[in-house]
Amino acid sequence: MEPFTLLTGIAAPLDRPNVDTDQIAPARFLRRPRKEGYRDILFHDLRFSAPGEEYPDFVLNQPAFRQASILVADRNFGGGSSREQAVWSLVDYGIRCVIAESFGDIFWENSVKGGLLLIRQDEATLAGWRDQLRAAPGSTMSIDLDAQTISQPDGTSVAFEVEIARKRRLLLGLDDIGITLRHQDAILTAETAYRARHPWLFDRAAPG
């Protein structure tokens, strides 16, 4: 998983409350193997008509926001059913940070496992940022995770809160497997000791 340190990129305003995980990653795509990528299913039914044509009014279909890496959303982003594919689709598209007033609980827990930073911000501030981004399409914002600061569309900075464990995982780029592998030496030591205590379990020549 790619570490998250300093992110500077185009920020896209998403003026929709209650964007659930089925809107982020529709259920009919969930059997796709992870290695095939999920970029094209992000907000699929919001971005495309049934024949596959783009809805020009949707923010990520607008030229100034196509390369967005930061999403400034509304309240209750990622509510609904549990699906890690919602996180994968955002990250595969190139979005590494979503800022919203609130998030679905399971989506919140899944996000850190996929390298997605979620930041809570108050509703009035978010509405102001979305207004600025719409007024100047293609504007950038910066997220400094180590310093815990956000560079706003007007260039000024504001602090944000993040749990210590979540911050550490993102800075180091640790998914669940990565966390386990940090204890690899201790695991190997324990396995070796277990084999020494119970050699008959591993001796293929021993009578069955």
In a domain, 27, yes or no: yes
In a domain, 194, yes or no: no
Domain of residue 64 covers 6-174
* Helix 105-113 and helix 164-172, axial crossing angle in degrees, nearest 10: 40
How far from chain centre, in Å, is Cα 115?
Answer: 5
Q: Taking the CA of residue 122 as centre, how many other CA atoms within 13 Å lie in the half-sphere pointing to its CB?
A: 4
pLDDT digits (tens, 9 = 90+) for 18-60: 999 999 999 999 999 999 999 999 999 999 998 889 999 999 9
Instruction: Label the pairing between strands 70-72 and 6-13.
Output: parallel
- Collapsing DSSP to helix, strand or coil, 21 comes out as helix
Give me the number of domains the chain comprises: 1
pLDDT digits (tens, 9 = 90+) for 63-110: 999 999 999 999 999 999 889 999 999 999 999 999 999 999 999 999
**Contact call for residues 54 and 3 (beta carbons, < 8 A):** no
The structure tokens listed for 3 are 């570490």
In a domain, 201, yes or no: no
In a domain, 206, yes or no: no
CATH of the domain at 73: 3.20.19.10
